[in-house]
């Protein structure tokens, strides 16, 4: 068989797959999974805030806030521990900061186990959810870079906020998330045979990106504050 014939033979199934529209199901599943994963993460923060009675705890489309939360963070990072503690118990705020990532990483493990055992699920919804859940861990990369090379990360990031209260380096606090992110994606991708990975993985991944964009810019603000 000539190189031209071999190329055509290799490309034909992929073209047929594109024309069939089967990839649209994965795209839709990833788009649906994105806001679900985001809100599961935020519900972790919200549940702890409600449980400990943080005043006026509000679930937002991409965050959770309560009266005094920004002031607490400002005072704590400024070193005024007593003033911050007068607003809320520091260990409770630390637990609230950690709760979102904990929910994300536990659900990531669950989704990975499901995909490895049962497959991607209808519309590849479980696979898409598996891609969304550990995305929090990707934030570890800039946190580690800033923490190591600039002189301490001071941004508003969940694990960094937890680290600031607990007195540990932010780069250390984000490591579990980074490991979860890398391992989750590896196990999800390798759940499929080599020749099928691109077709199995790309539609829900693109759907996740689309879902995050739509939720953050259009749908989220319509549904939640």
Is 51 inside any structural domain?
no
Q: What's the chain's average pLDDT?
A: 90
E strands present in the chain: 58-59, 64-65
Distance in Å from the first CA to the final CA of the chain: 61
Asked if the structure places residue 135 within a domain, the reply is yes
Q: Is the separation of the CB atoms in 130 and 112 below 8 Å?
A: yes
State the pLDDT confidence band at 17, using cuts at 50, 70 and 90. Answer: low
In a domain, 63, yes or no: no
Asked whether residue 139 is domain-assigned, the answer is: yes
At residue 79, the 3 state secondary structure works out as coil
Q: What is the mean pLDDT of residues 86-93?
A: 96
Residues 121 and 116: their CA atoms lie apart, in Å, by 11
What is the count of structural domains for the chain?
1
> Taking 90 as the threshold, does the pLDDT of residue 63 lie above it?
yes
Please indicate, yes or no, whether the overall pTM of this predicted structure exceeds 0.75.
yes
Using the predicted structure, report yes or no on whether residue 10 has a pLDDT greater than 70: no
Give the whole-angstrom CA distance, residue 127 versus residue 170. 30
Q: Pick from 133, 137, 166, 161: which is nearest to 43 by CA?
A: 133
Query: pLDDT tens digits, residue range 29-52?
Result: 999 999 999 999 999 999 999 999
Cα–Cα distance measured from residue 188 to residue 117, given in angstroms and rounded to the nearest whole number: 11
Is residue 69 one of the residues assigned to a domain? no
List the domain range (segments joined by +) for residue 194.
Answer: 97-223
């Amino acid at each position: 068989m000539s190189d031209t014939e071999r190329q055509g033979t290799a490309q034909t199934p992929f073209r047929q797959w594109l024309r069939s529209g089967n990839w649209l199901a994965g795209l839709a599943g990833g788009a649906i999974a994105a806001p679900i994963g985001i809100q599961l993460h935020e519900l972790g923060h919200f549940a702890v805030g409600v449980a400990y009675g943080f005043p006026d705890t509000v679930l937002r489309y991409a965050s959770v806030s309560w009266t005094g939360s920004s002031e607490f963070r400002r005072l704590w990072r400024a070193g005024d521990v007593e003033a911050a503690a007068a607003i809320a118990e520091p260990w409770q705020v630390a637990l609230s900061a950690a709760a979102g990532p904990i929910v994300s990483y536990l659900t990531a493990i669950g989704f990975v186990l499901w995909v490895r055992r049962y497959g991607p699920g209808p519309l590849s919804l479980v696979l898409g959810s598996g891609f969304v859940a550990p995305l929090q861990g990707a934030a570890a990369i800039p946190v580690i870079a800033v923490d190591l090379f600039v002189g301490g990360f001071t941004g508003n990031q969940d694990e960094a906020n937890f680290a600031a209260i607990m007195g540990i380096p932010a780069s250390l606090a984000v490591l579990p998330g980074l490991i979860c992110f890398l391992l989750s994606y590896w196990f999800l991708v390798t759940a499929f045979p080599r020749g099928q990975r691109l077709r199995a993985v790309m539609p829900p991944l693109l759907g996740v990106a689309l879902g995050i964009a739509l939720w953050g810019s259009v749908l989220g603000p319509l549904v939640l504050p």
